[in-house]
Amino acid sequence: MKTDGAADLIIPVDKPVGPTSHDVVAIARRALGTRRIGHTGTLDPFASGLLILCVGRATRLVEYLTGLPKGYHATARLDAFTGTDDATGEHVAANDAWRTLTRGSVEAALEAMLGEQQQVPPAYSAKKLEGRRAYEIARAGEVPALEPVTVRIDRIQLTRFDLPEIEFDVACSSGTYIRAIARDLGVRLGTGGYLSALRRTSIGAVSIDQAISLEELTDRERVDSAAIAPVDALPQFARVDVNDEEARRLRFGQTIPHPAPPGEVLIMHNRELLGIGFSNGSNLRPRKVLHSE
């Protein structure tokens, strides 16, 4: 996709282990010469993989991309729990129960996690409790009273069995904590469990194979070739074409009579994404307008 300056872009980036998601945004702002950049779906510093950056007016689509299903490749250890549910925390209740595990018992425990379920977020998470982040409460020596949230695991597959360490691939709903999957797996198996490495491999239809490195953000040709048109990053929405007059009215926030599939739709004008609207089947109302003129 050819770009021009700080255009309206969606750029898939391969975040390395170490920097925060905010660090990646700061690097991209310097490399692309614009401050109008947002990301979709935070990755912890110890995790690597796909981070989608929205540049320019594409930042208005962040909320729609953030809610897309995610894919991960995870490494877990089954010889202890940790206070953070990952390798950055101190070991708790370390034991040798993992020695009795078989590949079949681990696969069965993973399979039992498929589908919709209630998941308690990690104590060291960004969940808010009465205005405070859970990790702030935990760092103060208190135990955050986190309520379970509904998540969905669509696919989970063991890919390496080398006890006490395993690796698995997972496809899940947005908001699912992979750290909690490792922890809950340890509970099911009676061994302990925590996440020791994590790599995000997909967000919706965008794959890690499409991503560029942080260093490549300064290479305009590489950015151009990797950039995804906003409309192509949201294939889950139906597309609705509008004419010049309809586009003008939608830009002013007006509802127009227009047949379209019920629900949220992509509004297209002259082959470009005008914005996102809501249709009741016979009328179309704008929700997010990318191009105001």
Domain boundaries, the chain: 9-68+205-232, 70-203, 237-289
pLDDT at 5 over 70: no
Identical fold for domains 9-68+205-232 and 237-289, yes or no, is no
Q: What is the pLDDT of residue 246?
A: 95
Cβ contacts of 57 within 8 Å, gap of 6 or more = 8, 290, 291
**Residue 284: Cβ within 10 Å count:** 23
Structure confidence at residue 292 (pLDDT): 61
Higher pLDDT residue, 42 or 112?
A: 112
Domain spanning 9-68+205-232: which superfamily? Pseudouridine synthase (3.30.2350.10)
Q: pLDDT band at 2, cuts 50/70/90? A: very low
Please classify residue 3 by burial: count the beta carbons closer than 10 Å to its beta carbon, then call 0-12 exposed, 13-18 middle and 19+ buried: middle
- Indicate whether 138 pLDDT > 50: yes
Q: Which fold has domain 70-203?
A: Pseudouridine synthase (3.30.2350)
Identify the sign of the CA torsion 130, 135, 138, 140. Answer: negative
Contact 46, 17 (CB under 8 A): yes
The mean pLDDT value of the chain amounts to 91
| Residues labelled catalytic | 44
Token digits for 208?
């890690």
pLDDT (mean) for 253-280: 93
Q: What is the pLDDT of residue 112?
A: 97
Q: What is the CA radius of gyration of the chain?
A: 22
Span 170-191, mean pLDDT? 96
Query: How far lies 203's CA from each of 12, 68, 275, in Å?
Result: 10, 6, 21
Q: Give the separation between CA 276 and CA 230, rounded to whole angstroms.
A: 11
Whose structure tokens read 């179309």? 284
CB-facing half-sphere around the CA of 271: CA atoms within 13 A: 0
Which token pair is 159? 């890919």
- Domain spanning 237-289: which superfamily? PUA domain (2.30.130.10)
pTM across the whole model? 0.90
Compute the residue count for the chain. 293
The span from the CA of 194 to the CA of 174, in Å, is: 20
Give the pLDDT band of residue 4 (cuts 50, 70, 90). very low
Structure tokens at 98: 């993992």
Q: What's the pLDDT at 293?
A: 57
